Structure 1
Amino acid sequence: MSEQTPASGPTTDGPADPEHDSTAAYGLDRAYVSGLTRRVVSTTGETAAVASPIGRTPLAHVPQSSPADVAEAFARARRAQKSWAATSIDERAAALLRLHDLLLDRQDELIDLVVWESGKARKDAYLEVAHLALTARYYARTAHEHLDSVRVGGMFPVLTRAEVNRIPKGVVGIISPWNYPLSMALCDGMPALLAGNAVVSKPDAQTMLTALLAAQLLDEAGFPPELWQVVAGPGPEVGGAIVAHADYVCFTGSTATGRKIAQGCADRLIGCSLELGGKNPMLVLRDADVQRAAEGATRAVFSNAGQLCVSMERLFVADQVYDRFVDAFVSRTQAMTLGASHEWSVDMGSLISQAQLETVTAHVEDAVAKGAHVLTGGRHRPDLGPYVFEPTILEGVSADMECFGTETFGPVVSIYRFHSEDEAVDRANDGQYGLNASIWTRDAARGRAIARRIACGTVNVNEAYGATFGSLGAPMGGMRESGMGRRQGAEGILRYTESQSVATQRLMPIAPMFGMSEETNAKVMTTALRLLNRLGRA
């Protein structure tokens, strides 16, 4: 088997690490795994086992990093960043375009590894490849638009030349989650590299191999190998060390952890961007196309088994279409194919772990015990995979139930009637989160008007989340406790730069000339300011 190609099924030619396991069948070729894990900066001699949600198949033992290893990773990255910042924007953009093609050329390998590590449906894994390709192409093609120095109006026309430069921050620390292990491993780092920074990345422990393959593709695309460092280990220890050394931190994960990272960054007076939790609402208005909305809801709620920050967990449906929508939504949900496999035929894959399964199960059991009704689903399906849970629709969920306001992060949705659009907006805005929302209506203009009243960072009209997430020129992020900062668009790359203003004064100083008194100078300045205002100058 090629060292660059994961096995399509378990192999039995020996363990990844005989010291740890001498009998288990592994899902990936050992030489392949070893080639990936060598990328981790580690001197501890310690490893952590990684197993797949597909049959709990062992995959690897990943080397673990110490705080000293994190410090070394930052030292290497800083050395590489100095020369990288001196390369032209065109050279950096060309490397991103090569990465774009590599992602598409190697998509089968990438998808296989994502499915092995996360258990998600193959179609959901493909979307990670597509999103990264879109991101690479967008930033490469718009690099000069974002990063070129810009002339701005000087204090005095002709006499004052002013411009704004974009200076890379240095080394960016990126802490990425397990739910989209390929996309989140690279999508925030691409613009950081393009802006002239280096990166130290800490992927989630459950999906390290995918992130390591992504780092390998960066090398193959022509980025200097030392520019992107990967560390591994427990979040409190390794994540804390990243915050202690980085010039900027990008984090995607829980609101609780995001608060701690923000506090650490504040102590060091460095910036951060945080994409955090959500309890996202979907509104089906009285004039919605019911069948189209029901189809959209199945994607909105059950993509990646609901393990998606922007997925919908609350559906608000107008009285006029409620019964028809519920019938259509339940019917479509029951028709979904479930499983933990590499097959394209699977509509919804597995949860990633026992911990996720326990959270989802607890939320459903709590709701049912307190009077909610299961319209469909509600069961663990170990016959299909150790962590497979049926797509579940709940009716009658009330505020005393755990799933009412707490993020489930699984294939569970609560559905509610509403009587007026004002009521729907108020209920959509209820709670502390504000990440993503979805509105379904035949009147797109009215949908956009309602969107402005919803306190979410992204709102999709007649789509679940893909319209905003796939529009790379549009910023994506949360309001309120769903985070701060934005990925994508201009904000997604400018966050990794410092703005530097440079002004050059010609002919005359901004001070009294030729022995002029301060009083006379003030009168001359006042006359000039009045004139500039009459001329319509900014």
Structure 2
Amino acid sequence: MTPPTLTPDLAERLAALVTGDPATTYTTTAVFTGGDLATLPRSTVADVHTAYERAARAQPAWADTPLAERLAVFDRFHSLLLRERDIVTDLIQAETGKARRDAFEEFCEPALVTSYYLRVAPRLLRARRRAGLLPGVIGARELRQPKGVVGIIAPWNYPLALSIGDLIPALIAGNAVVLKPDSQTPLSPLLGADLLYRAGLPDDLLQVVLGDGPVIGGAVVDTCDYLGFTGSSATGALIAERAGRRLVGCSLELGGKNPMVVLDDADLAHTARTAVRACFANAGQLCLSLERIYVHDSVLDRFTDAFVAETGRLRLAAGYDYGADMGSLTSQRALKTVAEHVDDARAKGATVLAGGQARPDLGPYFYEPTVLAGVTPDMRCHAEETFGPVVSLYPFADDDEAVALANQTPYGLNAGVFGRDRRRAAALGARLRVGTVNVNDGFTSAYGSTDAPMGGMGASGLGRRHGADGLLKYTEAQTIATQRFGALNPPRWLPYGLYAKVMTRSLRLLRRLRLR
């Protein structure tokens, strides 16, 4: 079931964007059927070095290009992206197996990010006057210089959003980029690169390499001047260690075992409907997905009934229309993990309230949305990230217990808190050790607020995307201080002890006048 928009001409154009030998290829999988999707060049470690060298040569001229001219490229890209919506969503679906509504939401991410940074980049990147050491004598300015060549290692679950959405601010800031998408999901990132070049991005500024992470991912880490990675916590720790040996910065958005808290005053009908989306969007293959739901004792039974009923209404299907509520898992590996977690929980005494079965009748990697109760710490799904359509329900007695239960994990990415008293819900959310909290929502409110930073605490990562941090992390702060005359050097005739007394009095006076 290959989308008709993936024509031979388009496939050839996308393959030409890969840095690698066209004679050395591999074939991606059409997830809905398990058949072949596209044949693309496979890059080597040497190709990564070539990509870096090309990008490094192109980067200085781009950094010297006035910001208004750089932004004009992204203004045109934004228009092209919206115009190509159907092709973009087709490719996302073909290589991930997600439902079309999930593909459309992914398509929106680079559009929103581009629009946001078009608006705020001039303010964030402009030179800023800073207070000098001595007012009127020493002046200081803060400049923002690009890092150089940024390496982006993108995951398979949101291949467009977490590649193009991350490299847009890197390019706007004046950097070049070496992008390594996941080898199963390169088509939508390649289409994003194609649209950027059609919008006027200078040649060689964006390099794409394809191949297995253990083979070429290390070369990206070992060559680039800054690293952006989205993926597992285990791999993120290795990247941080490897980058640290080179004193190179990195931004890491990693795993999560995200909690949801249902307070005793929650609107249960709204909460159940919203929870279904928060748990099962993209078949649960979302770093922000909620995998643990803590429900107040007094509403547990009513919420459970409503949530299980809403889960049962979800329509699973493979297709390039908007009829399905949930699509497929992306790989046999993902299916195996989900099935093992559910089978382990069932064998150790958990109750399956909904789902709990693979659906090969729909496609090779489909699995039903699954709700579990009675999950205990000895079960794998209690603490391990399932990264699939599986969620567990737990009771709690009061707000303090809810906070303690929600925080009993090394992860700290995302959470949802539901209650009619929004101040109470937000206050509880502020006690959770997570990077984003959504009151009366699962993940969309925080993630979609592109002016606000998004990222994780603890084992869920370092750094932030979106907001000011999402652009400035790709820059180095540089201070230029200008001294009008040698005021800081005492004249030869002045004893240094007397100079020290004069300077001490001057510092006291500056403090009183609030000048320093």
- TM-score scaled by length of structure 2: 0.98
Could you tell me which residue of structure 1 aligns to residue 502 of structure 2?
524
1:118 aligns to 2:113 (yes or no) = no
Pick from 25, 38, 43 the counterpart of residue 65 of structure 1.
43
What is the rounded CA distance, in whole Å, between the counterparts of 1:459 and 1:174 in structure 2? Answer: 26
Could you tell me which residue of structure 1 aligns to residue 459 of structure 2?
481
Question: Structure 1 counterpart of 2:258, which letter?
Answer: N
How far 1:235 moved relative to its partner?
0.6
Matches within 5 A, 1:68-107: 68-107=46-85
Pick from 238, 243, 253 the counterpart of residue 260 of structure 1.
238
1:434 aligns to 2:412 (yes or no) = yes
Give a deviation string over 1:368-404, Cα, whole Å, max 9, x none: 0000000110110111111110000000000000000
Contact 1:380/1:389 (CA < 8 Å) preserved in 2?
Answer: yes
Pick from 381, 386, 393 the counterpart of residue 364 of structure 2.
386
Pick from 314, 333, 340 the counterpart of residue 318 of structure 2.
340
Matches within 5 A, 1:141-220: 141-220=119-198
Could you tell me which residue of structure 1 aligns to residue 282 of structure 2?
304
What is the rounded CA distance, in whole Å, between the counterparts of 1:299 and 1:443 in structure 2? Answer: 22
Give a deviation string over 1:260-285, Cα, whole Å, max 9, x none: 11111011110011111100000011
1:270 aligns to 2:265 (yes or no) = no
Could you tell me which residue of structure 2 aligns to residue 412 of structure 1?
390
1:350 aligns to 2:328 (yes or no) = yes
Question: Structure 2 counterpart of 1:523, which letter?
Answer: K
The 3-state SS of whatever aligns with 2:113 is: helix
Pick from 460, 474, 482 the counterpart of residue 496 of structure 1.
474
How far 1:481 moved relative to its partner?
0.5
The 3-state SS of whatever aligns with 2:163 is: helix
What is the rounded CA distance, in whole Å, between the counterparts of 1:276 and 1:182 in structure 2? Answer: 17
How far 1:167 moved relative to its partner?
0.5
How far 1:537 moved relative to its partner?
2.8
How far 1:519 moved relative to its partner?
1.1
> Runs of 5+ in structure 1 lacking a partner?
1-5, 10-26
Question: Structure 2 counterpart of 1:197, which letter?
Answer: N
Could you tell me which residue of structure 1 aligns to residue 350 of structure 2?
372
1:510 aligns to 2:488 (yes or no) = yes
Question: Structure 2 counterpart of 1:301, which letter?
Answer: C
Give a deviation string over 1:212-264, Cα, whole Å, max 9, x none: 11110110111113110000111112101101110001000011111111111
Contact 1:367/1:403 (CA < 8 Å) preserved in 2?
Answer: yes
Identity rate of aligned residues, in percent? 51
The 3-state SS of whatever aligns with 2:437 is: strand
Which sits farther off after the overlay, 522-531 or 408-417?
522-531
Could you tell me which residue of structure 2 aligns to residue 8 of structure 1?
3
What is the rounded CA distance, in whole Å, between the counterparts of 2:512 and 2:408 in structure 1? Answer: 48
How far 1:508 moved relative to its partner?
4.1
Contact 1:283/1:440 (CA < 8 Å) preserved in 2?
Answer: yes
Could you tell me which residue of structure 2 aligns to residue 251 of structure 1?
229
How far 1:82 moved relative to its partner?
1.1
The 3-state SS of whatever aligns with 2:441 is: coil
Q: CA RMSD, aligned part only?
A: 1.3
Contact 1:7/1:29 (CA < 8 Å) preserved in 2?
Answer: no
Question: Structure 1 counterpart of 2:388, which letter?
Answer: G
What is the rounded CA distance, in whole Å, between the counterparts of 1:30 and 1:164 in structure 2? Answer: 50
Contact 1:44/1:66 (CA < 8 Å) preserved in 2?
Answer: no
Contact 2:2/2:94 (CA < 8 Å) preserved in 1?
Answer: no
Question: Structure 2 counterpart of 1:199, which letter?
Answer: V
What is the rounded CA distance, in whole Å, between the counterparts of 2:359 and 2:106 in structure 1? Answer: 26
Pick from 448, 451, 460 the counterpart of residue 426 of structure 2.
448
Contact 1:54/1:340 (CA < 8 Å) preserved in 2?
Answer: yes
Contact 2:135/2:515 (CA < 8 Å) preserved in 1?
Answer: no
Question: Structure 1 counterpart of 2:490, which letter?
Answer: P
The 3-state SS of whatever aligns with 2:388 is: coil
Question: Structure 2 counterpart of 1:375, which letter?
Answer: L
Question: Structure 2 counterpart of 1:223, which letter?
Answer: L
